Chains A and B, each alone.
Chain A
């Protein structure tokens, strides 16, 4: 059993499913999904305990585990690469950032979106760099998720690391082609300034 902060994961269980990744097709996907479940259980749900701007989340994977998982990186099925990105987000921690950065540029938009989500969970400056690139993705949903993640990671933070994020978000707020992404950037900037996102209108509207 490995304890990382408040979490406990069954390392034998991880290794058992990692070993099954040598299979192809549906069996490999199944093994990845089981690893994902372990991550979900380990993280709990009330408190996500994700990484922050400068401190990436811990990894639950041994170097051997990680190496075996990365073999799925070249899998031709997008669904497998996507599932791998999800697993790395749940279990991989800082050791998975470089792989996830590659997946955030995958030809398949679904893979990119899950990779962006995974980077957002892990955090750290290297992840922020990849998220900043993803904030210019072709896909509107991927951009919006990346923008939102940048705002969340930068929330309440101070220091020189925040300025590039602010610049990126400002550019997107002013110039993105999608109103939805521009709105996401506006929200992210508000979060970045550490302001309360929610403001109650001062005047109470008339009854409906």
Chain B
């Protein structure tokens, strides 16, 4: 019943009058569509755009039918495990962000103008206080503001880490001073949120994360379950029940993994720097326990085979170590013990699920410097893959000094499916050992496709989902027409449910906001679809008859036995009310759509 209410809201969204949306897209394409659109009009007329819009709009509406896709022949009630990310996002709205600048200037003893001027210099260089990348880590308040300014002009924003205890305390002090309403705490982390959404859609959805504090548990619904690792056994507990551990004969709550997100609308300015698009910059920090202290001061990592090794503990005395992977942990004396689950346990986990969706992994996860933990995770990947479950990775980006080889070595041939953001795709395919050549005279979206194909080949993927702000690209090795149609349908459906989830976590009266969401047709999505299709047709030496077919269906089959079919789905995403935090939406859409494709 709850589910049917949600699907009904989706349906209501799709019923919004669409004449004006289509007229607006048509007008913008006529005026600003560029050479590719002009070529379409020249060959096929303006009415081709109207056809295109009506066909895609109908497809979108059909995908939001009250009958969920699984009721239309997809696998009934699949079991899905999402791992390894769950986080409490503390979201500062635009009004709160406006306070940051004078507040930070005051803390650093600078005038707001001087502070802004210095931050803007760092933003222009892209470098933090220690010369590293602002995208990766921030060391002081100037870095924080500089990173926000940097992403104003270079969206989408990445997730810099808060680099030291002093800065963390300063930001916490800032949050503490914000008036009510300017700070909101919401469930974040692709794994936790995707499991929530899938559970509500009738999927048997579980998630795994090392830590599950009361603050995180409170933000879950009643349907999803959390996998708990015990020595030699696995258990599934209600997600609303938080995790506890024993130390010195007492029971404690798990620490909280959290982040601070500053969100803003397109056009918002700090000083004279304007945000190009609505977005949010997320600053990550290590998990932390509530009482600002931890009952251990050493970390021992127990490998599956061999002797335990000591890991360095986080500098701050209230911070905990988080590792990607299925890790059992306990506290004994003054030691935090971490043990990667053994082969048998991992195989059992995999055997109990149709899909394993793993988030929080990137080239850095498997970098040589990560040593034992990286090797243990790689071994777990092998065990997971051997079980027959479908493995899907949500890949993160990479800093320029990293390489693709360790990631490719760890997952190559093991993982059939992956998802990645278009910006992160660009980073991964520009690494020193993986510089993907793209055709300079083709459109940006076609170059993205070329990068996607190269990444899929490099990692041995059968399926790659690249989510963007204009179109989503979905590659399927030898994908059939039926498979590609399902990919498109699942992607459109996922977008709808994720929009609702985002509204729901942000607004108490979200249904009344949801039903006012329109338009969903974005002209840039159709511009990208048109550009991509012309480039693909040209590359394959085909004519405009094929163009018409591809642009209307949204997919092209592979042109060689080992090649990839590609679907190009214009992003149909409504303008969200101000202050809504869309963080993680792409990753979550990727996870939801995977399950609904029947891949």
Q: Which residues of A contact B (CB under 8 A)?
A: 26, 29-30, 32-33, 36-37, 40, 43, 45-46, 48, 50, 79-80, 82-83, 85-86, 110, 113-114, 117, 120, 141, 144-145, 152, 179-180, 183, 187, 197-201, 203-208
Query: In the docked arrangement, what's the CA distance between A145 and B22, Å?
Result: 13
Q: Which residues of B contact A (CB under 8 A)?
A: 2, 5-6, 8-9, 12, 15-17, 19-20, 23-24, 26-27, 30, 41-48, 50-51, 54-55, 58, 61-62, 65, 193, 196-197, 200, 219-222, 500-501, 504-505, 509-512, 515-516
- Kindly count the residue-residue contacts between A and B in the assembled complex, taking CB atoms under 8 Å apart: 115
CB distance from A91 to the nearest CB of B (A): 12
Query: In the docked arrangement, what's the CA distance between A199 and B5, Å?
Result: 11
Q: Nearest chain-A residue to B18 (Cβ)?
A: A148
B45 touching A208, Cβ below 8 Å = no
Additional pairs, 20, CB under 8 Å, beyond known A36-B45, A45-B27, A200-B9: A30-B42, A40-B27, A40-B30, A48-B23, A86-B50, A113-B51, A113-B54, A114-B51, A117-B50, A141-B55, A180-B62, A198-B12, A198-B16, A200-B512, A205-B5, A207-B219, A207-B505, A208-B193, A208-B197, A208-B200
B511 touching A204, Cβ below 8 Å = yes
B15 touching A197, Cβ below 8 Å = yes
Show 22 residue pairs from A and B whose CB-CB distance is below 8 angstroms, ordered by the A residue. Answer: A29-B45, A36-B47, A37-B46, A45-B27, A46-B20, A48-B20, A79-B45, A83-B46, A86-B45, A86-B46, A86-B50, A110-B47, A114-B47, A114-B50, A141-B58, A180-B62, A200-B511, A200-B512, A201-B8, A204-B510, A207-B504, A208-B6
Query: In the docked arrangement, what's the CA distance between A85 and B504, Å?
Result: 44
Point out the residues of chain A lying under 8 angstroms from B8, CB to CB: 201
A32 touching B5, Cβ below 8 Å = no
Point out the residues of chain B lying under 8 angstroms from A141, CB to CB: 54-55, 58
Point out the residues of chain A lying under 8 angstroms from B512, CB to CB: 200
A110 touching B9, Cβ below 8 Å = no
A82 touching B47, Cβ below 8 Å = yes
CB distance from B524 to the nearest CB of A (A): 16
B54 touching A45, Cβ below 8 Å = no
Query: In the docked arrangement, what's the CA distance between A201 and B61, Å?
Result: 19
Query: In the docked arrangement, what's the CA distance between A110 and B552, Å?
Result: 12
A32 touching B504, Cβ below 8 Å = no
CB distance from A7 to the nearest CB of B (A): 14
A208 touching B46, Cβ below 8 Å = no
Point out the residues of chain B lying under 8 angstroms from A206, CB to CB: 2, 200, 221-222
Q: Nearest chain-A residue to B41 (Cβ)?
A: A33
CB distance from A99 to the nearest CB of B (A): 15
Point out the residues of chain B lying under 8 angstroms from A120, CB to CB: 19
- Contact with A207, one of B26, B221, B509, B511 (Cβ below 8 angstroms): B221
Q: Nearest chain-A residue to B201 (Cβ)?
A: A208
